[in-house]
Amino acid sequence: MIRRILPFIKKEFTEILRDRLSITSLLLLPSILLFLYGYAISLDIKEIKISICDKERSEFSREFTDGLISSGYFRITARRESPNEIESDLRTSKSQVGIIFYPSVYKNFLRNNEPSVQILVDGSNAQSSQYTLNYLVGAIERFTQNAIKKELIRINTIQTPTEPLLTERILFNPLLKSPLYLIPGLIAFVIMITGAISTTISIVKEKENRTFEQVILCPVSPFTLIIGKIIPYFVISLVSSAIMILLSILFFDLPTKGSLLFLSYAVIIFLLCASGFGMLISTISSSQQVAFTIAAFSTLLPTIILSGFVFPINNMPEIIQLITYIVPAKYFIAILRGILLKGSSLSELYPETLSLTIFAVLIVSASIIRIKKKGII
Amino acid sequence: MEIISVKSLTKRFGNFTAVDNISFGLKPLTINGFLGPNGAGKTTTIKMICGLLRPDEGSIFIENIDVIENPEKAREKMGYMSQNFSLYPDLTARENILFFADLYKIKKSERDNRYAELTDELNLHEYQNTLTSDLPLGIRQRVALASAVIHHPVLLFLDEPTSGVDPISRMKFFDFIRKYINSHKATAIVSTHFLTEAAHCNEIFLFNRGKIILSGQPAEIIQNFRYNIFETKTSLLTGEIKNILNNSEGIIEFYIFGKRVRIITEEDIDIQQISVRTGIDISNISVVAPSFEDVFISLTND
Ligand SMILES: Nc1ncnc2c1ncn2[C@@H]1O[C@H](COP(=O)(O)OP(=O)(O)OP(=O)(O)O)[C@@H](O)[C@H]1O
Ligand SMILES: [Mg+2]
């Protein structure tokens, strides 16, 4: 078997390496995307303009705004007298965030009354507003907890039960290095391009050129043929994923907490899903255009749109949220975010890992059955 | 003893019958020509014999192997050159040929010997390291041929190996095949549009609309041709000559090329009669020997 596959792998690599443009783009595109995306978004976050309306004018409100500015992500562009002005600032894009401190917010806060700080966020850029909001929520959380601590020390009570004012917190990636948040999605994207699309295209190209007919008449089984097709792209996907992770460690301070073994498992299983898709699609398409279209719609688009890569799944309509359950990239991205950003272990990501593995098994078996039944040409 | 025997072979694509209940047998050490126009069913038949297509009806045996049931069993014996010379465009001639050698697990030393021999015989030296996409059609044909025979198959299936290739290369091609067959005790099926290539074959099979309308040795076929062929130069307009010939009795078929008209008539019509019937001066008419085109046209005329 191995001896039969080797000539295919050798041939495939010769072809791939000879096509300078595609090999360069397969290996470099992901990293370029990473940098473009990474810098564009962190720039976004650094430049966030705030309009403030401070009716409280206490130490509390001053400390809070100072804290925000010192984080380096925010800049106060306007101080306003009335809440209406804040709204018009947002509408005219003078600022992306408005913060309104109502009078006696600090007293209310200590009494655990109605909150009286209002935060307005320009939601027109879903991506960056999500990050901004998350960051602000976290900042408020940290700030209030500090304030409570201080207050407790001041009045010398130790055991007053304190309910958190806000339930959302950014625990991981607290500095909002958003490129880090995107790395798993980019890896998924790259694996789909190389693992599914390139594999499909290269198989269908052989159908079109009729070289498959020639090869099928040699004493090789269709599976040898297909495996010989898949392995090179498998290797390339692994290499470009590794490049992305290395670059992220070097340039974006990606933490290296997670288990390398678990990471490799997740990548390989997801690659199997991608290759399975690739095989299935190549059995049903007769031309490169058809194959590309089917592959783009069934693998690439869901990986970008329905996986939580670009758009947060929580913000999607319920019916779409249901659909995301059949997008393997969703599980893969969740797993990778867990491993890369939080250092989560298998036991914490058990459900996602299981779902991804089941997907891989289903897709690969489906394509094997399909090839057994129908052959490849 | 037949090396390949085909019985009642039928292949349909939807409602369309591409190969319609054909039967034939091939003798070993022969070149067998599948002749016929576009869409006649040559490729479909070849693919079924190779096991690339599953027939709807009929049986195919290669020696004792039932190819339909066990398509893998005869594969080592087969060498196949598909229509339009399928090669990997991004590989060089050498890489293409050696790739196929490696698929057959030929030992490296043996492989290199065979490769050297083939590049010699097919004059491929100067093209070895050129990408096949950059090679002219005639050279690609030779590279494809080398790829198809590097494992020394005893059954050659060559689907229109000579289309788009100049006459001298076509001659050389058949020389190579003949030599190969003799030295490897092989048998070949060669399909072609060129009826003139019938002369290179031991047996020919004339395909039309999914059926074999005639088969046999080329010389025999010409000998058995029952019609007369005349050729005449004419200054008449195409429309006029058509009009005359269409209204003359005993004329099976005629075809006009340039200023000349070729006329196929019933056996009992001689040059004088043709002159009388068409009004063409007898000095302008000559009797010619039948060619395979004439045979084919007389058979497909309806
Ligand atoms: N996969 C297919 N689906 C539908 N029709 C097909 C298919 N393959 C062949 N045909 C049809 O079957 C008929 C016979 O085709 P085939 O290729 O066997 O002819 P051929 O004699 O090899 O012709 P050519 O000289 O053009 O190669 C043609 O009309 C063709 O359109
Ligand atoms: Mg054909």
Predicted confidence band of residue B189 (pLDDT cuts 50, 70, 90): very high
Q: Ligand 1 pocket: which of B16, B35, B52, B194 to mutate (most atoms <8 Å of CB)? A: B16
In a domain, residue A253? The reply is yes
What's the rounded Cα separation, in Å, for the pair A54 and A99?
8
Q: Name the residue with higher pLDDT: A238 or B278.
A: A238
Q: Ligand 1 pocket: which of B10, B22, B34, B38 to mutate (most atoms <8 Å of CB)? A: B38
Same domain assignment for residues B107 and B248? no
In a domain, residue A171? The reply is no
List, in sequence order, the alpha helices (H) in B134-283. 137-149, 167-184, 218-223, 238-246, 271-278
- The stretch B70-86 carries a mean pLDDT of 87
Task: Provide the CB-side half-sphere exposure for A176 (13 A, CA).
Answer: 26
> Whose Cα sits closest to atom 30 in ligand 1?
B39
Q: What is the pLDDT of residues A270-308, one digit of tens each?
A: 999 999 999 999 988 888 899 999 998 998 889 888 888
B90 shares contact with chain A (CB less than 8 Å): yes
Same domain assignment for residues A349 and A208? yes
For the Cβ of B83 lying below 6 angstroms from any atom of ligand 1, the answer is yes
Highest mean pLDDT: which of A87-91, A189-193, B178-182, B245-249? B178-182
Same domain assignment for residues B25 and B153? yes
The reply to whether the predicted model has a pTM over 0.80 is: no
Q: Which of A202, A217, A223, A288 to mutate to test the interface with B (most CBs of B within 10 A)?
A: A217
Same domain assignment for residues A210 and A108? no
What's the rounded Cα separation, in Å, for the pair A220 and A291?
24
| Residue position matching structure tokens 């758009």 | A311
In a domain, residue A159? The reply is no
Q: How far is the CA of B83 from the centre of ligand 1 (A)?
A: 11
How close B47 gets to chain A, by Cα (Å)? 9
Same domain assignment for residues A33 and A182? yes
Same domain assignment for residues A218 and A293? yes
What pLDDT score does A169 carry? 37
Same domain assignment for residues B178 and B233? no
Query: Which of B150, B182, B216 corresponds to the end of one domain?
Result: B216
What's the rounded Cα separation, in Å, for the pair B298 and B288?
15
Query: Which of B198, B216, B234 corresponds to the end of one domain?
Result: B216
Same domain assignment for residues A7 and A106? no
Same domain assignment for residues B195 and B284? no
> Whose Cα sits closest to atom 26 in ligand 1?
B38
Q: Are A123 and A311 in contact (CB under 8 A)?
A: no
Same domain assignment for residues B172 and B239? no
Q: What is the pLDDT of residues A243-272, one digit of tens each?
A: 888 888 888 778 877 888 999 999 999 999
What is the span of the domain harbouring residue A127?
48-154
Predicted confidence band of residue B202 (pLDDT cuts 50, 70, 90): very high
Same domain assignment for residues A144 and A196? no
Same domain assignment for residues A202 and A130? no
Question: Quick check: helix, strand or coil at residue A308?
Answer: coil
What's the rounded Cα separation, in Å, for the pair B206 and B195?
9
What is the span of the domain harbouring residue B253?
225-300
Overall number of domains in chain A: 2
Same domain assignment for residues B170 and B259? no
Same domain assignment for residues B58 and B203? yes
Same domain assignment for residues A134 and A200? no
N residues, chain A: 377
Same domain assignment for residues A108 and A226? no
Same domain assignment for residues B250 and B110? no
Same domain assignment for residues A287 and A334? yes
Burial category of B103 from C-beta neighbours within 10 Å (exposed 0-12, middle 13-18, buried 19 and up): buried
Same domain assignment for residues B79 and B33? yes
Q: What is the pLDDT of residues A313-360, one digit of tens each?
A: 877 788 888 998 989 999 999 999 889 888 888 888 999 999 999 999
Same domain assignment for residues B282 and B186? no
Q: How far is the CA of B14 from the centre of ligand 1 (A)?
A: 12
Residues from chain A that touch B103, judged by Cβ atoms under 8 A, are 4, 7, 215, 218-220
What are the distances in angstroms from CA A204 to CA A229, B97, B298? 11, 21, 43
Same domain assignment for residues B70 and B200? yes
Same domain assignment for residues A301 and A343? yes
Minimum-distance CB partner of B99 among A3, A7, A213: A7
Say which CATH number the domain at B272 has.
Answer: 3.30.70
How close B106 gets to chain A, by Cα (Å)? 11
Q: Who contacts B242 (Cβ-Cβ below 8 Å, separation ≥6)?
A: B256
Minimum-distance CB partner of B75 among A11, A18, A217: A217
In a domain, residue A162? The reply is no
In a domain, residue A167? The reply is no
Query: Which of B216, B241, B264 corresponds to the end of one domain?
Result: B216
Overall number of domains in chain B: 2
Q: Residue B159 corresponds to which tokens in the numbers above?
A: 């689907």
